[in-house]
């Protein structure tokens, strides 16, 4: 069960529940874990989102060849409008979770709870530092010290 966070003027509230939205709670966690530079780095956030989406599809059976074909197809088309693409990503993720028998909201809450501990934050910072030694603002591994 999620414990409500005391509302502050900086955190937008979810009108239905009068508690901070999931997005606001993730942003707060990001600021705690990484600070504003990494939290607000659009290119790094894109790399991480793409990596996680790929890992989900891989876990559900998508092959590397299928992923490469889809990347080529997607990048052969014109860029979309970001707000509409966010909507499409959220709707498509919900549909994928339904088809796979997953609970998108519960799994998101469980992951936020899992990573929101001092030891896990420390481990994530360490892993991020190792990645960025070689390639700043990337999702690619940065060295042998990675755990």
Contacts of 110-119 with CB under 8 Å at 24 or more apart are 112/22, 112/25, 112/26, 112/29, 113/2, 115/29, 115/33, 116/29
Contact 131, 125 (CB under 8 A): no
For residue 20, the surrounding DSSP H or E stretch is strand 19-20
pTM score of the predicted model: 0.78
Span of 13-17, 104-108, 136-140 with lowest mean pLDDT: 13-17
Tell me: the pLDDT tens digits for 81-119? 999 999 999 999 999 999 999 999 999 999 999 999 999
Position 19 scores a pLDDT of: 86
Q: What is the mean pLDDT of the chain?
A: 87
At residue 130 the predicted structure's pLDDT band, cuts being 50, 70 and 90, is confident
């Amino acid at each position: 069960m999620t414990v409500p966070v005391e509302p502050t003027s900086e955190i937008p509230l979810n009108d239905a529940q009068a508690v901070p939205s999931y997005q606001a709670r993730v942003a707060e966690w990001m600021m705690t874990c990484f600070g504003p530079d990494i939290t607000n780095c659009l290119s790094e956030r894109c790399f991480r989102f793409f990596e996680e989406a790929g890992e989900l599809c891989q876990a559900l059976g998508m092959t590397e060849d299928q992923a490469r074909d889809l990347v080529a197809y997607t990048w052969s088309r014109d860029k979309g409008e970001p707000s509409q693409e966010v909507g499409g990503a959220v709707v498509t993720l919900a549909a994928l979770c339904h088809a796979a028998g997953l609970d998108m909201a519960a799994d998101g809450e469980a992951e936020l709870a899992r990573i929101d501990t001092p030891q896990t934050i420390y481990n994530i910072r360490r892993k991020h530092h190792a990645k960025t030694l070689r390639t700043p603002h990337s999702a690619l591994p940065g060295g042998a010290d990675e755990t």
